[in-house]
A and B are shown apart, each in its own frame.
Chain A
Amino acid sequence: MNKQDVSAVKMTALNCNVYYNEKQAIKDVTIDIRADEVTAFIGPSGCGKSTFLRCLNRMNDTIAGCRVTGDIKLDGEDIYGKAMDVVQLRARVGMVFQKPNPFPKSIYENIAYGPRIHGLISNKTGLDEVVKNSLQKAGLWEEVKDRLNESGTALSGGQQQRLCIARAIAVNPEVILMDEPCSALDPIATAKIEELIEELRGRYAIVIVTHNMQQAARVSQKTAFFHLGSMVEYGATTDIFTNPRKERTKDYITGRYG
């Protein structure tokens, strides 16, 4: 790896293991997440890809009996270290979930809430600016600019998901984690999210968990294949989908798994 490559690494996991009580869910995963790329995690249900994703902003802390070992670093800083403020971490490493989960508040408030509680901005003009900016980046502004006071839950599923992405963007994250962001959406809404991911690439490091392999192939530059808690193969997306090195990867992506 050359020097430029090292500087583009945003997050690293080194020998990461995750246990739910006695059961080991993640086995010795080591991976670099680059700042300028979309990284996709693929694998069958229960393979650990979502569990691992949730380690990257300590969402697993909220699950009783969950234990994480190994090193996970954000810009070289241990995110499980004592000095790490978890609330701050989750602002820096934002998350978008499978089912859109807007707050039962206005569209405006959905976006303004984060910057306000994180104390980023408090005046009205500043907040207006952030709301507009975030909605624009999420490709939703044109559709909602005249009804910012309507409830976020009144939007369509695809719009709600873009609202959630706008909400994540509003607190100026460095990394955005997406856990199957399109699985509840129709193909058109899915295409819009994929287009959005493409536009956001470069500004944020993006990690996406998806069951849809075509989606992984379309949106990502790097792909990691998980199986039974291990990361079986990691590489350039084009290589993984045209010429995977591992038999298990090949069997999975060609539909021969199990």
Chain B
Amino acid sequence: MSQKHTVKSYDDDLKQLRALIAQMGGIAEAQILSAIEALQRRDADLALRVIEMDISLDNLESDVEKMTVNLIALRAPMADDLREIISALKISALLERIGDYAKNIAKRTSVLAQYAAIEPMIIIPEMGRMVSRMMSAVMGAYSSRDSVSARKIWAQDRDVDNFYNSIFRTLLTHMMENPHHITLSTHLLFIAKNIERIGDHVTNISEIIHYNVTGNVIPDVRPKGDMTSYVFNPASIQDEK
């Protein structure tokens, strides 16, 4: 924001809105990291804490919603202010959803904690950390209004998709070879899918940041690398280049 508004309380409102989004981003990121850690350590207590954390994101989302409606009704925002407010509304919904995915990972983790670890369990946390790094970077881009970083993060979604393709292939093969691991593997597959979905949402957030800052949408076609919807034979999954 280049210059201050003539009506100072308007600036305070916008600052508060941005602070709410930053807070949501922080919680969502912590949820992802904790969910991943719980999975890695097969720690049911930590998983439970992740599940309990989710309510605070839901409450914050509803705060953001109230605040944006008030701002629109009372301030009649224009231009970059309008984009700022609409962006906050959309980002808060995405962050809330990201929290839900983390919560779902945690729920499945409490089941997995009862089984012995299997080999694919080791690489999923790596994918989770990749996505949490993107998450942290995207919130940084939000705070610093950095459309260039936002665009870089946006391009990283392909790596997440490729990671997911590889896990999908591994798990399918694993299930074929060890049918008594199917329950476990299915949970892991959903966990990987949840992480992949978080990556998609982070990509959406970077698009919104780009629009918020520049007033323009990212001109490129969005990278789409998740090929698993078309799979018949696991060996046929090819990574997108």
Residues of A within 8 A of B (CB): 213-214, 217, 241-244, 247, 249-251, 253-258
Contact = CB atoms under 8 A, between A and B. Distances in A.
B79 interface: yes
Contacts of A241: 78-79, 82
B80 interface: yes
B2 A255 contact: no
Which are the 7 A-B pairs with shortest beta-carbon distances?
A243-B215, A256-B3, A253-B78, A254-B81, A255-B5, A254-B78, A250-B79
B5 A242 contact: no
- Interface SS, B side: loop
Given A214-B76, A242-B83, A244-B79, A251 B216 contact: no
Contacts of A243: 79, 83, 215-216
- From A213, A249, A255, A257, name the one whose CB has the most chain B CB atoms within 10 angstroms: A255
Contacts of B5: 254-256
Interface string B174-198: 0000000000000000000000000
Given A242-B82, A250-B79, A255 B216 contact: no
Contacts of B6: 255-258
By size class, the interface of chain B is 10 to 19
A254 B80 contact: yes
Given A214-B76, A241-B79, A256-B4, 19 more contacts: A242-B79, A242-B215, A243-B83, A243-B216, A244-B79, A247-B2, A250-B2, A250-B79, A250-B80, A253-B78, A253-B79, A254-B5, A254-B77, A254-B80, A255-B5, A255-B7, A256-B3, A256-B6, A257-B6
Interface in B134-187: none
A243 B77 CA distance: 12
Contacts of A217: 78
15 contacts: A213-B78, A217-B78, A241-B78, A244-B79, A247-B2, A249-B79, A250-B2, A253-B78, A254-B80, A254-B81, A255-B5, A255-B7, A256-B2, A256-B4, A258-B6
Contacts of B3: 251, 256
Contact of B10 (A214, A242, A255): A255
Contacts of B4: 256
Contacts of A242: 78-79, 82-83, 215
Contacts of A213: 78
A214 B76 CA distance: 8
Contacts of B7: 255
Contacts of A250: 2, 79-80
A213 B216 CA distance: 23
A241 B78 CA distance: 6
A258 B7 CA distance: 11
Nearest to A217: B78
B79 A254 contact: yes
B7 to A, nearest CB: 6
B104 to A, nearest CB: 37
A247 B80 CA distance: 11
A250 B215 CA distance: 12
B2 A251 contact: yes
Nearest to A251: B3
A246 B7 CA distance: 21
